Structures are given as structure tokens and as C-alpha cells.
Structure 1
Amino acid sequence: MTHSTTEVAIVTGASSGIGAATAEALAADGTTVVLAARREDELAALAERIESAGGEARVVPTDVTDEEDVLTLVETVTEEFGRIDALVNGAGFGLYGSVEETPIEDARYQFEVNLFGLARLTQLVVPVMREQGDGTIVNISSMGGKVWTPMGAWYHATKHALEGWSDCLRYELAQFGIDVVVVEPGAISTEWGDIMVDGLLERSGDGPYAELAHEIAEASAENAEDGSDPAVVADAIRTAVRSRDPNRRYAVGRYAKPLIAARRFGGDRVYDRVVDYMV
């Protein structure tokens, strides 16, 4: 086993969007980044970009819902580097469709990716950080962990759950010098929206909820055009990882802060009217 003299960060969901931007931002600061996602070709291309810019990257293809994959990921990192300084839990997707029309097996898979896969990987990383006496765990939630949007019941359920789970974890791990941070992106220009809309229309585009589904699809397309660059989120994550005393939460990107504030201070009735206006 060789031990790294630089900090090491695992970034899941690193094949595109926020995950890829985060990996590049951390690598630019001198962190060795371990790139984890299912799409190996995209990870290899990202690693090449990072290394051509003078950074260090290691590709470990990983499906966070696969027990063998997450075990292999953590074993590979600890054997090769001897440490894990940061874990950025970025893998996730948005399942949209009416509650009535969404198969419960699809809903379960949404939880497997957005919560249980993340949780299992975190369980494996915590003992390493606990023995080190430090570390930072960044859970990428969403403004959708505090608010809601129509047709996204199962997605929002996972993000609301992740927020509460992270709060409990933060308190448990503080005694060991481990920070737990929640990042709540708003509208970000990534492929997330296209994937969400495709699933939404497949489930609810032709049935009794079709009119609302198409309205949501159109609104999503408009928001994507005005969305923030993933680098905005990556910068917040880099700040959290570099800080000795990071914020508990970072709400970043278009709409995040105003929509969270509208829900928090205006209550449900005010927020419902905001949703009516946006849709």
C-alpha cells in the first residue's frame, strides 16, 4: 500500500454535470480525485482533462446501488492512497411523474440511488475518516429538499429524506472531527432536466395528468435555458471541503435561495401560489 501525501476525494456522479465540475475544481486545488460513476467512457475523458491540466485523477466505475461496486470503490481508494479526506455524494437523478402513474418499483429505485446507495457508501467511508480524525462528507441535495415542484413527489421525497438524514449524521460525526455538509442546488444547466422530462412524459404524458405533465416539461425547458453553470455548485463544494468550519448548508444556483425563502417565510399557501405562477 502506498499512502498519498495529498488530500484524496471521492466524487460520485462524476461522469457529467455537477459531479464532473466538482472533480475538476477539487483537482485544480491539488486534491487527488477518485471519479466514480457508471459511465466509464465519460470518466476516462474527465480524468484525461484533469491530468492534462496538471491534476491527479483515478477512475473507479461504480454503480452506487451495487454493494460489490461500493465495496470495491472504498477498498481501492484505501489500498491505493491510505486515506479519504472528502466524500462528495453526487450520484442521483430526478424521477418525475404523477404518484398514481409511477410504478412503485420505479419509486423504490429512486430511493436506492438518491438515498440508500449514498448512505451505504457513506457507511463504508466513515470508519476511514473516523480513524483519521477528520474528513468532510458533502451530500448534494437540492432546493427540492426544502421545497417541491409538481409531479416530482418521489424525487422530492428522497431529497427531503436526505436532508434529515444528513442532519442526524452531522451530529453523530462531529465528535470525530468529521464535517457533514448539505448542498442545495437550484436550477442548474445539466442533462438532469432532459432526463427528468423524458421520464415525466413517458409516465404521465398521455393520461389524466397529461396537461400538467406537458406544462411542467415546458417550464423545465425554460428553466434549463436560464440555469446556472455547474461551476457555481462546484465552487460551493470546494469551499466546504477547504473550510475548517464549513456551513451546514449551501443553497446555490438560480432560484435556490428565493424559493427556499418563499417556502420558509411565506408558508404553504404563498408557496403554492409561487408554483402556480411558475407553471
Structure 2
Amino acid sequence: MAPTTPTPVALITGASSGIGLAAALALIEKGWAVYGGARRVDRMQQITDAGGTAIELDVTDDSSMTAAVERIVAERGRIDVLVNNAGYGSYGSLEDVPIDEARRQFEVNVFGLARLTQLVLPIMRELGRGRIVNISSIGARIYEPLGSWYHSTKFAVEGLSDSLRLELAPHGIDVVIVQPGPIRTEWNTISRESLLERSGQGAYAEQASRMHANYTRVDEGPMSASPEEVAQTIVHAVTTGRPRTRYAVPFSAKAIVGLRRLLPDRMMDAILSRLA
């Protein structure tokens, strides 16, 4: 009798809504054992109902991350894929955003991602294979006024991911970056509201108001996509034999990334300044 192929196991962070939830459900549908992690376990009932496992996971709490990884290994003996999706956008002028909030942005978007990766790597190295999918953003390829802290975190995620890809290749572990553009999730509302909260008054108020209006139009317009579209890209990235290093999604994101490659900084400045 041929040996049974073990069910592949995925850990997805930020799985209580949006892209993380959609990716968890999509992988469960493909027959994967999926652990969806988030602080709000009560918001992951869909994952449980679909046959996955919802676990409490706070990417700013080392003991929470350690406990989550230990539980998965105890129950499954392996982790094949880590999808680092947890993150948020904190907007406002550099002058207006408190340094404590800037540090929190890096804790969630960069250091939490890096620490959880540290925790799963020994397991993947023992297996001799694995895949890490880091959810970045087209914000790692472009930039915006009043978005310096958020963009800094995504530039950092991509630099980390590129170095890590080479570092882990000898161990059979691949690193893939997914760059979402405008996606219809609660992330958009949180980021827009932070813009007004931090810079809606004072020297940057006019910029903040125009950007808020423009973001609302983009997020609700034809350039935006559903979380399920990004989820399908994630499924492809973790199941294909030889993934690309980067996937921009949807088509509008591909167009923006392509434009950035072609245009010099000053021309890009002029285009992006129209947002503000």
C-alpha cells in the first residue's frame, strides 16, 4: 500500500476578516488543514464551520505566537505554509502621528511578521520544505503623502522578504510576496479614519480631507477588488510548484506597479500629488 500523503497545514494570521478570512476559507475548500489566527476568535466562526481551526493569536504578543505554533505542531506535527497577513494602515502626517503609534505600526506589520516566521522556520527546516507568503501592498512600490509610516512598514516587509528568500532557499523553503491594491475590506475604513483622526485638523487638514475623499472613491470604485480575488492569488502562490516572487492583485495593482517601474520619481511625485 502506498504511503498516505499528509494533509498540508497552513497558519494564516489576521484571519478574522478580509483577505485572511477569505484565504482561510479558500484553502479549507482545497482540503488543507487551516489554522486561522486573530485576536478576535469569535469573529472566525466561518472558519470553524468550514472545517478549519480558529486560534487566538496576537502578533504583538510573543507568548501568544509561541503558544499558537506549539499547538499546531502538537496537533498536526507540521506547518507547511505561513501566510503573514495581519496588519493595518495608520495614516496621518509624520508630524502628527505619535511615535508610539509609529512603533505599534512596525510591531504589527513588521516585527510580528518576522517573529512568527522565526517560530515556524525550525519546523519547516525539519520538513525540508515550506512556503512563507508575506502580504505586502502596492504601498511597498509607491508612496503617498500622509502615509509615511504605513509605507515604511511595507517597504521593510519587502526588503525582509527578498533577503529571506535567498536565505531559506538552501532549506527548501520559498518566500512569496503578495501585493494587494485597493481591496474592499474594513482595512480601508480604519486607514481612512486614522487619516482624519491624526491630521484632520491643523496644518495638514486640507490634504487629509482631499485624500480621504479620493480614497473613498477608489475603494468603492471599479479599481477595487474583493478579498476573495486576493485569496485565489494566495492559494495559487502556496500550491503552485514554482511560484513567482511577487504577485500584484487586482489588475489595477499590476498597472500601478508597472507604472512605477517606468516613471522617474519626479513624474511619479506629480501623479501622486494629485491625491492631495
State the TM-score bracket (shorter-chain normalisation): over 0.9
What amino acid is aligned across from residue 261 of structure 2 in structure 1? Answer: R
2:94 — aligned with what?
A: 99
SS at match of 2:264: helix
Change (3 A) 1:235 1:221: same
1:190-201 correspondence to structure 2 within 5 Å: 190-201=185-196
TM-score between the two structures when normalised by the length of structure 2: 0.95
Structure 1 position 112 matched with structure 2 position 112: no
- Distance in 1 (CA, whole Å) between partners of 2:230 and 2:275 is 23
Runs (5+) with no aligned partner, structure 1: 51-55
Structure 1 position 272 matched with structure 2 position 273: no
Structure 1 position 259 matched with structure 2 position 256: yes
1:237 pairs with one of 215, 234, 237: 234
Runs (5+) with no aligned partner, structure 2: none
Q: Provide, for residues 118-144 of structure 1, a one-character-per-residue CA deviation record: whole Å limited to 9, x for no partner.
A: 100000001100000111100000000
1:214 — aligned with what?
A: 209
- Distance in 1 (CA, whole Å) between partners of 2:111 and 2:264 is 30
TM-score between the two structures when normalised by the length of structure 1: 0.94
126-135 vs 261-270, which moves further:
261-270
1:53 — aligned with what?
A: none
SS at match of 1:68: helix
- Give 1:253 deviation, angstroms: 1.6
2:198 — aligned with what?
A: 203
- Distance in 2 (CA, whole Å) between partners of 1:272 and 1:259 is 13
- Distance in 2 (CA, whole Å) between partners of 1:254 and 1:242 is 21
1:246 — aligned with what?
A: 243
1:70 — aligned with what?
A: 65
Cα contact 1:188–1:254 (8 A) shared by 2: no
- Distance in 1 (CA, whole Å) between partners of 2:228 and 2:46 is 18
255-264 vs 175-184, which moves further:
255-264
- Give 1:67 deviation, angstroms: 0.5
SS at match of 1:15: coil
Q: Provide, for residues 42-64 of structure 1, a one-character-per-residue CA deviation record: whole Å limited to 9, x for no partner.
A: 1124322x2xxxxx311111110
- Distance in 2 (CA, whole Å) between partners of 1:39 and 1:271 is 39
Change (3 A) 1:99 1:4: farther
Cα contact 2:47–2:54 (8 A) shared by 1: no
SS at match of 2:107: helix
Cα contact 1:187–1:254 (8 A) shared by 2: no
1:149 — aligned with what?
A: 144
- Distance in 1 (CA, whole Å) between partners of 2:196 and 2:47 is 31
2:119 pairs with one of 115, 124, 129: 124
Structure 1 position 32 matched with structure 2 position 10: no
CA RMSD of aligned residues (A): 1.3
2:8 — aligned with what?
A: 7
Cα contact 2:110–2:153 (8 A) shared by 1: yes
Structure 1 position 160 matched with structure 2 position 155: yes
1:88 — aligned with what?
A: 83
Cα contact 1:4–1:82 (8 A) shared by 2: no
SS at match of 2:144: coil
What amino acid is aligned across from residue 40 of structure 1 in structure 2? Answer: V
Cα contact 1:228–1:254 (8 A) shared by 2: no
